[in-house]
Amino acid sequence: MAVVVQAIHYTSRPRDWHALAVVLGLTPAGAPDDVWSEFEGDGILAIHGVDAGDVLDGTTDIHLLVDDLDGVAAALEGVADVSRSVLEDVGLLVSAQAASGVRVTASAGAREAVGGMLIQPIWYDTDTVPVRAVLEAAGLRPRIASDSGTWMDFTAPSGGSVAFHAAQEAGVVLGMEYAGDVEALQRRLEASHLSAEIVDEAYNRTLLVDTPDGTKLWINGAMTDLYGYRRAGA
């Protein structure tokens, strides 16, 4: 089954996000515009322009592009509250809402990722069990989990990833993972007058990038030391 993760980020500053996406090494899928633009890496970042003050401004949705929408919908019905709607220019949209209120949507149109920066929206929730149930039903598979149970990430067959992070409140934020030289990426951002800070984490180094929304984008370095973590099946 083909499934690719598409993180949809809503912003009132779409052009600034377009510039940031290019500096991060993502490839525009067509000419960007102020309403909807897609940037490809290992997964897809979609930038959805909204008005300033819109309740969605600065938020991120987890969306999946799949090749068997009926099959994914049927699998999700066993683990989440599933609804269907039809959107102009999208067609059938399947929405799966977990008990915590976090929603994962899916539509037809899967394609293979081009590779590079890993698109990895982070699903914050109190418990990994319902998160894992929804993501596995949608065709994603566990990759790395912390021994403490506070982190688990999942990869899609055709590109992209979704991570679970334990938290007291449920929600979704945009995240990414970079397998290259984090310091070189920081220099590239700063050369484009974009602010970024490197912090040392137990698992690797993380780049905190100031976004056009006034928030921080966490770009985790790919894990090379699994102390305190384990790969799926290990």
Domain boundaries, the chain: 3-231
pLDDT digits (tens, 9 = 90+) for 48-103: 999 999 999 999 999 999 999 999 999 999 899 999 999 988 899 999 999 999 99
pLDDT tens for 118-160 read: 999 999 999 999 999 999 999 999 999 999 999 999 999 999 9
| Kind of pairing between the strands at 3-11 and 43-49 | parallel
How many beta carbons lie within 10 A of that of residue 55, not counting itself?
8
In sequence order, the 6+-apart residues with CB closer than 8 A to the CB of 181 are: none
The rounded distance, in Å, linking the Cα atoms of 59 and 67 is 26
- Pick from 132, 70, 81, 71: which is nearest to 103 by CA? 81
pLDDT at 224: 80
The dihedral over CA atoms of 100, 151, 213, 158, expressed in degrees to the nearest 10, equals: -90
**Does residue 201 register a pLDDT over 80?**
no
Which range is least confidently modeled, 34-38, 132-136, 175-179, 224-228? 224-228
Confidence of residue 234 (pLDDT cuts 50, 70, 90): low
- Per-residue pLDDT tens digits for 155-198: 999 999 999 999 999 999 999 999 999 999 999 999 999 999 99
Query: Residue 195: what pLDDT?
Result: 95
For the domain covering 3-231, report its CATH number: 3.10.180.10
Mean pLDDT of all residues in 96-114: 96
Summarize pLDDT for 5-19 with one digit per residue, the tens: 999 999 999 999 999
* pLDDT score recorded for residue 128: 95
* Phi, psi (degrees; rounded to nearest 5) at 57: -55, 120
Q: What does the pLDDT read at residue 225?
A: 79
- Min mean pLDDT across 43-52, 87-96, 210-219 is at 87-96
Q: From residue 76, how far is each of 90, 100, 199 by CA, in Å? A: 20, 15, 37
Give the residue carrying structure tokens 């890496």: 41
Cβ partners under 8 Å of residue 205, min gap 6: 182, 198, 199, 221
- The pLDDT score that the predictor gives to residue 85 is 97
Give the per-residue pLDDT at 226: 84
**In the predicted model, is pLDDT for residue 204 greater than 90?**
no
- Per-residue confidence (pLDDT) for residue 107, from 0 to 100: 98
Position of tokens 């021994």? 147
- What pLDDT does residue 202 have? 62
